[in-house]
Amino acid sequence: QVQLVESGGGLVEPGGSLRVSCSASTSNDMYSISFSGWAWYRQAPGQQRELVATIINGDETNYADSVKGRFTISRDNTKKTVYLEMNSLKTEDTAVYFCNAGWGTNIQRYPYWGQGTQVTVSP
């Protein structure tokens, strides 16, 4: 069984920075998994889940217009971890952030999700 576990969320003031992480693990130590693609989504209260950033095939990154220039997605394959570095945070970035992982270029087919981590941007 594959698990994705996010960490690093919290409360930050507008203009501040935060880094969230998502690590993959399996319940069986004999089985190792690696993903070719990762995505970060976020969902604010009363709103639909929104795609924030993707990293596919190692270094192909894409960002939502709302976070371009402020957020950076990266990965560490040896640690099976993806990161989302968030700078110049705004109150509208407040949401639960979810990681998503799979294979190929069609992110809508990525099967694995984390449980989410809360990011709150508030004075």
| Contact assessment for residue 82 and residue 38, using Cβ atoms and an 8 Å cutoff | yes
Residue 61, pLDDT > 90, answer: yes
- Which pLDDT value is given to residue 101? 96
Average pLDDT value for residue range 86-94: 98
- Which pLDDT value is given to residue 41? 98
What is the DSSP code (8-state) at residue 111? Answer: -
- Which pLDDT value is given to residue 95? 98
Greater confidence (78 vs 21) lies with 21
Residue 32, pLDDT > 80, answer: no
Q: Label residue 59 by pLDDT band (50, 70, 90).
A: confident
Q: How far apart are the first and last CA of the chain?
A: 40
Taking CA atoms, 104 is separated from 41, 55, 83, in Å, by 18, 11, 19
- Which pLDDT value is given to residue 13? 98
| Contact assessment for residue 97 and residue 6, using Cβ atoms and an 8 Å cutoff | yes
- Which pLDDT value is given to residue 30? 59
